[in-house]
Amino acid sequence: MNNRKVIKTPKAPKAIGPYSIAVQADNLIFTAGQLGLDPQNGEFVDGGIEAPRSRRTDHRGSDCRQRGSSRGAGDCDVRGPPFDRRDGSHRVEGIRRDSEMNLTDFALRNRTLIVVLTLGALYAGFQSFNSLPRLEDPEFTIKEALVITPYPGATPYEVEEEVSDELERAVQKLGKIKRIEVGLPQGHTDFARTFGEEALVPPPPNLDYEFWVGPAPWWPYCKARVHMNWRWNMDFGGGQLMDWIGHHLDIAHWGMGWDTNGPAEIEGTGRFPTSGIYNSPTEYYLKAKYTDGTPMIIAGGHNEIWGGTKWIGEYGWIWVNRADLKASKDEIIETPLPDNAARLEASDDHMGNFFDCVRSRKDPICHVGVGHRSASICHLGAITLRLGRKVQFDPDQEEFVNDEAANRMRTRAMREPWCV
């Protein structure tokens, strides 16, 4: 307030003490008064504490006329409680002309409205910030992981240059991963060339069949049940689902940094044989969801899911199997990563890495936890296929959530005398 002017008038009560009846500061007039004084004779007015109301308005009107208004007190917008009832003294108030707008006064008189408008503006700003295009406000996650690249006969340098570098470039250029697909084989493969030889015959003398069956339920010997085709019976193996999951799902976990993680829920459907000694699913389609909400499809016998591992991200996709690497755009694979990008450790020799770790006492690149987590998701898949419903799973505790039937299927009764 730069323009300050003291207002005086002989028509108002004379001051008792050092005070001014009114002060003009810019477009505001601040007034003060004395209780119950008649400006004509300076005496107290009869009628109690409420009586001075009209007197107060009269001498404020005089203030306004002294200031230059020709219309009287009513045009000066005199308002506010006339008295503080606790001590009977006048409050100091601002008087504003009706023709002028005062935002501060409006805000004070409409506090609820101002609070609502402020909260609305904050909410709108928050929504606007969250809806910014990703290129304007990019999210990024730096993932560190290990990749194992079986490449017999090649040097570590050749493995890194020809395989690992290309794969790491591609995965890091996909942005946020929206979906992962793992394609596995379907049906049953006659590895041992014994399909159809299901006749019950004595085991060969060089086979300790009792020991071969081990803690599993007892089944009579037949050629089609043993050797490489044992995997198609759920008492000894897990079908293509368990047979191939270590080849592709461990790569899916590696790409996401999930080597020690598991799904939070899983469900699926499958087709099982209706005759013969094999009872593992020949077709299956599993839908898993991990703790961060990322979905994963594991399927066999569904042509839309390519055999191998496919990461689908915001900016494209990359697919890899044990022999090939493809992407939705060539530049995803071909464009080099920046110098500060996370790098992956490569290995062309599982056995050599193991012996190195025996000497160094470090964990191998693919330690036992990686194998466990790769296999466990398929055990979960087999359980959900047998139950015929979705199951919830706690990957930290490694148990089903509030599901006694599913938890009982995490272990199997052992045939005597086998025990752990």
If you average pLDDT over every residue of the chain, what do you get? 79
Q: What is the pLDDT of residues 338-361, one digit of tens each?
A: 777 776 666 778 889 899 999 999
Using the 3D structure, point to which of 131, 148, 171 is the last residue of a domain. Answer: 131
Q: What percent of the chain is helix, strand and coil (3-state, nearest 5)?
A: 35, 15, 50
Q: Where are the beta strands (DSSP E) in 163-260?
A: 177-184
Cα 293 to Cα 176, 223, 264: the distances in Å are 12, 45, 9
For 187, the token pair is 């049906």
User: How far is residue 302's CA from residue 183's CA, in Å, rounded to a whole number?
Assistant: 8
- Is residue 139 assigned to a domain? no
CA–CA gap between residue 197 and residue 43 (Å, rounded):
128
Both 253 and 306 in one domain: the answer is yes
Of the pLDDT bands very low, low, confident and very high (cuts 50, 70, 90), residue 171 is low
End-to-end CA distance of the chain: 89
pLDDT at 72: 43
Q: Give yes or no: residues 381 and 256 share one domain.
A: yes
Q: To 5 degrees, how large is the angle CA 396–CA 308–CA 320?
A: 100
Grade residue 159 by pLDDT with cuts at 50, 70 and 90: low
What confidence category does residue 148 fall into, taking pLDDT thresholds of 50, 70 and 90? Answer: low
Examine residue 417 and say whether the peptide bond preceding it is cis (omega within 30 degrees of 0): yes
Q: Do 224 and 112 belong together in one domain?
A: no
Tally Cβ neighbours within 10 Å of residue 71: 10
Shared domain check, 266 and 283? yes
One domain for residues 35 and 116: no
Residue at 61 is within a domain: yes
Q: Given pLDDT bands bounded at 50, 70 and 90, which one contains residue 97?
A: very low
Percentage of residues in the chain having pLDDT higher than 90? 40
Q: Same structural domain for residues 171 and 307?
A: yes
State pLDDT tens for residues 282-330. Answer: 999 999 999 999 999 999 999 999 999 999 998 899 999 888 889 998 8
Phi, psi of 263 (to 5 degrees): -75, 155
Contacts of 60 (CB under 8 A, 6+ apart): 22, 31, 33, 73, 76, 78, 95
Domain check: are 37 and 124 in the same one? no
Q: Is residue 165 in some structural domain?
A: yes
On the CB side of 103, CA atoms within 13 Å amount to 1
Residues 121 and 167 in one domain: no
Q: Tell whether 163 and 76 lie within a shared domain.
A: no
CATH code where residue 266 lies: 3.30.360.10
CA distance 233 to 271: 14
- pLDDT, greater one: 266 or 78: 266
Structure tokens at 384: 């959900």
- Mark whether 211 and 323 lie in a shared domain: yes
Residue 96: what pLDDT? 44
Average pLDDT over residues 87-115: 63
Mean pLDDT along residues 120-132: 81
Residue from 322, 295, 321 nearest 310 by CA: 321
The amino acid present at 275, given as its one-letter code, is S
Decide: 169 and 336 in contact? Cβ < 8 Å: yes
Give the range of the structural domain holding residue 123, as residue numbers without chain letter: 101-131
Q: Does residue 140 lie in a domain region?
A: no
What number of other Cβ atoms are within 10 A of residue 243's Cβ?
19
* 284 close to 270: Cβ distance less than 8 angstroms: yes
Domain count, the chain: 3
How does DSSP assign 245-312, residue by residue?
HHHHHHHHHHHHT-TT--EEEEEEEEE--SSSS--S-SEEEEEEEETTS-EEEEEES-TTS-BEEEEE
- Is the residue at 41 inside a domain? yes
Sorting pLDDT into bands at 50, 70 and 90, what band is 147?
A: low
Tell me the mean pLDDT in the region 103-122.
85
Distances (CA, A) of 341 to 144, 161, 172: 10, 16, 8
Please provide the size of the chain in residues: 420
Q: What's the predicted TM-score (pTM) here?
A: 0.58
Give the least confident one: 5-14, 47-56, 290-299.
47-56
Cα separation of 5 and 73, whole Å?
19
In-domain check, residue 60: yes
Higher pLDDT, 244 or 43: 244
Within this chain, do residues 82 and 13 fall inside the same structural domain, yes or no?
yes
Residue 247 lies in a domain: yes
CA-based R_g, the chain, Å:
42
pLDDT digit string (tens) for 358-390?
999 998 888 888 888 988 998 999 999 999 999
On whether residue 92 sits in a domain, the answer given is yes
Both 337 and 199 in one domain: the answer is yes
Residue 94 β-bridge partners:
30
Q: What is the CATH number of the domain that holds 48?
A: 3.30.1330
Whether the pLDDT of residue 83 is over 50: the answer is no
